[in-house]
Amino acid sequence: MASTKLYAAIYVVLFAFATLQVAVEELGFLGEAYWVAFGAIIVLSFLKALVVAGYYQHLRYEPRSLSYLILTGLLAALALTVAASYSIT
């Protein structure tokens, strides 16, 4: 598994990403190009989630089956969200 140093470095990155997300809003990007800013913020969230899952939950070092397990759940939730929202557009 990873060293404490790596864990600390990841912590700093997570911290920075969270700040960046708010910065995107505070600097007014959300008002100017909503969907671009939206994409950036969501991507940042996914990156953070990946890092936490990969290192803090050490999925990186586990058998892939655990990652697939969680991805299946995510996929089910996404299918529900996307299809349901699409059905009323």
Partner 1 sequence: MTTDGQPMNDSTGDDEAKTTDDGSRRTDGRHTKADGGHATTDSEFATPSGAGTDTEDGHGLPPLGSVRRYLVTTNHKDVGVLYIVTALFFLIFGGVLALLMRLQLWTAGQGLLSAGAYNQAVSIHGLIMVFWFLSPFAFGFANYIVPLQIGAKDLAFPRLNALSYWLYAASGLLLGVSFFQGASFAGGWTMYAPLDLPMYTPEVGSTTAILALLLFVVSITVSSVNFLTTMHRMRAEGLTLRRLPLFTWTILLTVWMMLFAFAALLAALMILSSDRLLGTTYFSFTEGGSLLWAHLFWFFGHPEVYIVFFPALGVMAETFQTFTGRRLVGRKWFIASMVLVALQSFGVWMHHMFLTSINLQVKTLFMATTIGISLPFDLMVFSLIYTMIKGRIRFVTPFLFTFGALVLFIVGGITGVFLGAVVLDYEFRGTYWVVAHFHYVMVGGVTALIGGLYYWYPKITGKMYDEFLGKVHFAAYFVGFNLLYFPMFLAWETPRRVFDYPPGLTPWHQLATIGAFVLGASFLLMFYNLTASLFTGEEAGDNPWAYSTTAEWTVPSPPPLENFPGIPSYRSGSIDFLAEDERSAIGSGTAADGGELTDGGVATVSDQATDHAPGHERITDEGEGEDHASIWPLAIGVGAFVLLLGASGFQGASFPDGFAGTFYAGLTGIGALLTGGSLFGLTRERFTGPSGPFGESWPFDGIENVKTGVWIFLASDVVLFGAFIGSYVFIRVAQGWVGWEPVPHDPLPGLVNTYLLLTSSFSVVLAMVAAEKGSKRGVVASLGLTIALGIGFLLNKGIEWQELFHEGLLLSTNVRTSTFFLTTGLHALHVIAGLVIAIYMLTRATRGAYLEDERPIEYFGLYWHFVDIVWLFLFPLFYIL
Q: Does 30 bind partner 1 (CB under 8 A)?
A: yes
Cβ pair 24, 37 in contact under 8 A:
yes
Size of the site for partner 1 (CB under 8 A): 48
Residue ranges of alpha helices (H) inside 27-63 are 29-32, 34-51
Q: Nearest 10 degrees: CA dihedral of 20, 40, 47, 83?
A: 140
By CB under 8 A, name the one of 33, 36, 45, 61 that touches partner 1.
45
Residue 63 beta carbon to partner 1: minimum distance, rounded to whole angstroms: 6
Residues 6+ positions from 24 with CB-CB distance below 8 Å: 30, 37, 40, 41
Q: Does 29 bind partner 1 (CB under 8 A)?
A: no
The footprint of partner 1 (CB under 8 A) covers 4, 7-8, 11, 14-15, 18-19, 21-22, 24-26, 30, 34, 38, 41-42, 44-45, 48-49, 52-53, 56-57, 62-63, 65-66, 69-70, 72-74, 76-81, 83-89
